Each structure stands twice: as C-alpha cells, then as structure tokens.
Structure 1
Amino acid sequence: MQKQSAARASEVDLFRFLAALAVVFFHYAYMGANESGASTAYPALGTVAQYGYLGVDLFFLISGFVIMMSASHGTVAGFVASRAARLFPAFGVCCTATFLVLLATGQSLPSVTMFLLNMTLAGAAAPITLVDPSYWSLAAEIRFYALVALLLWFRQMRRVEAMLGVWLAVSVAMAVHNVRLIEIVLVTRYAAYFVGGAGALLHLAGGPLGAARADAVRVLRAGGVPRHGVGCHAAGA
C-alpha cells in the first residue's frame, strides 16, 4: 500500500508539473506579448501556447483528486491541518517574495495592509486586491476546501457521491441562469473540474460510482487508494 501511495503521489506530481509548465508557456509565449500590444513573442510556440490556460483546469482536476484523499483523515481538524501545512508555507514564501520585488521596483506598489490581508488568504472570502493577480485561483481552491470541510463537519462523507452530483447539477443550472452569490459560494464556474477529480479518486478507490459507495468511503478514511480498486471491489462482493 505504501508503494502504491508513493507511486500515486509521483503521478500526481508529474501532472502538476505539466500543468504548471502549460501555464508558464501561456503567460510567457502568448498572453504577455498580447497584453502589451505586441505580436506574439514566439510565433513558433504561440499557436500551441495559447491553450496553456488549460493547465489551470488541470490543476483544479488534480485538486479534486487530492482533496478527496486528504479528506480521508476523517476529521475537520485533520483535514484543515493537512491543507494548511501544504498551502501556507509555499504561499507565504511566494507572496512575500512578490511583495518585496514590487516594493523594490516600485511597480504597482502594494500597501503593507494589502500584503497582510493577502497572507491570510482573505481573498477567498472578500474581494481584496491581490499582490499578484495570478493568485486568483487560490480563492477557488479555498472555497472548495471549505465545502469539503463542511461535509466532514456534518459527517456526510458517506454521501459524498450524491453531494458531488448535486454540486455538478447546480453548476450546470448556473450556466443557464446565473445567481452571483451561488456562483461565488459553490465555485460553480470550476466545480466540474473538482467533481471530475474527486470522482476519479472514488472510482479508483472502489469501482463504479454508486455501486461501491461504502467501499470507497472506507478506503478514503483508511487513507489509501488501491491501484486496482475495481478488482478489489469485485473480489469483496
């Protein structure tokens, strides 16, 4: 099980790297030049780099997969602790570095108050000015964390598949008739990616969704994801 978990982590890290690389290419080989009014800086890369924004969508898919694994700790405290340990150190370093560079160069000089608000990740709950606009995706991530934390708090992880289905249905409805408050709270613009990643984990954990709800939840709470989940479920049946 430990070897399988390590292999799974390596696979997820590879996808994270590819997603990050796609976003970097999008900004430096396509978006940056277009925003400055210049022609594409690297014409040979531009035709491909213009699709690099899809790396963000891949990040959200990965997040759905990983956060559902993180929820296997079974308690709100354990979940929050694991997310905070994963997010705050790296974000703190990046946010501080961005602030210091802007301060040194005088470009879009942020205030100390704005910097401190950014460090608390308050942008997930309030429309504050971000030290770096590229941090916008963290607001969606944190709202997703909050939704999962609510499931844990109310002990509804056993109904996680139904909840994911409802979330996806609401997101589809919002595409037809948008309600701004619901869009913000339920992250409906990106919910499909989170649901897709979470669904992939549940499928790997226990076979077809719906048929293996109990097995999937047991595996999640045990903290492991068997590589051949469908076979394990069939054997157990």
Structure 2
Amino acid sequence: MSHSTMVSGGEVKLFGMWASPAVRRVEWALKIKGIEYEYIEEDLSNKSTSLLEYNPINKQVPVLLHKGKPIVESLVMIEYIDEVWKHNPILPEDPYERTKARFWATYGEGECRDAVGKVYFTEGEEKENAIKHLEDTVRVLDEELKGKKFFGGENIGFSDLVLGWMAFWLPVAEEVASFEVLNSKKFPWFASWTDNFLQVPVIKENLPLRDKTVEFFQNYRQQRLAASNCQAATHA
C-alpha cells in the first residue's frame, strides 16, 4: 500500500487518549490515507465538555470530528475514513473480501477482546480456564493467517488495523498479568503476522511508548481488581 503525501482532511479532529488501542487504530487509518488532522488528548477522569457534547451516548474516546460532525465507534470511523477519502483503500473492493474483512474485525472486537479481558481481570483456576479460551481464539486467527502476510494478503487492511492491538497491547497484557499466549511454536502464522504488522512504518511510528503503556495498564488492572474485590466483599 502506497502512502500519499498529506492531504487536507477538511477540518478533521480526533479526540483520544494515548494508551487506547481503539484511538490508535483510527490514527493508523488517518496516517495511511495521509489525512491532516488535529489530535486532542482527553483526560478520561476529567472529560472535556467537547467530548461530552460530541459523544453523549457513551462519553468515550475515540471521537472523530469531520466538518463539525461527530463519528463514534472506531470501526465505524475507519469505514467512514475509507469511504470519504478513496485513495489508499483500507477495505477490499470485492464484496466477498469486504465481508471477510468485516467478519475478522468483528471477531477481534468480540471474541478476542472478551477472551483477553477474562484473563486480564481474573486469578487462580478461573484465569487458567480463561487462558485456554484465549488460546482457542488465537488458534482461529492462526489458521486464517496461514500462508499470508496480512489478513487480506500482501497489504495491510481493515482486519489488520482492527486486530492490530493484539500485536502491541497483548504482549503488554501478558507482562502485566503474568501469562503467555503469544507463542511462535504454537501459533507461527499469528506470530509472523504480529511481526509483519509492527514493522509497517505507519504502525511502527505511531505506537505509544512500551514502558509507559505497561505502567499505565499495571495501574489500571490493580484498580479494577481492587474494585472487584471490594464489591465481592460487600456482597459476601
């Protein structure tokens, strides 16, 4: 996929938070298209009036603003970006291939995210069972990626952008929560995809600092586990 020089986005703004995988995937899409945009960092513990105005439903990032009109949900944003700016297409032109790309994106947002979350926020036997389930979901991806560089073939596309969090944030989660799933012997094609994805310049140049990300998610996990334990004690 060739990358064009920067083109005017026509007043594009992206409200985000540096550690969010969902925010990064929208940035990747904008960078692939070479679209000029203004990035606005949000403090999620003290959300701006603009964020609350543009996304009153779930009050979360990312929010994409184009010519004053807000778009929410990162997958919807990527499709919007691809439809508005036709160069450097992210989704395949072929209807069947587009459907496949959307399927794997949905699988990543549903099965994969849920599976990682269960490992991340559980302990003991429950965590062991969750790891087995996560391995099952990664095995499905490994089978799909067999013999391919990316989900769509030789070029990075929609499925890769949506599932890209697994290449960077899943190893962070493994370090924070002390588990291992990304094994190149068990899942050689998935491991190869991870390496290929992280070497794409537009991805490599637009990732958060790893140490800072690990520290952020360590604190986040501790807070969630503490809240969960407190809630369990209250209902005991």
Same fold (TM > 0.5) = no
Q: Which has a greater percent of helix? A: 1
Bigger radius of gyration: 1
Structure 2-normalised TM-score?
0.30
Q: Which has a greater percent of strand? A: 2
**More contact order relative to length (CA 8 Å, sep ≥ 6):** 1
Structure 1-normalised TM-score?
0.30
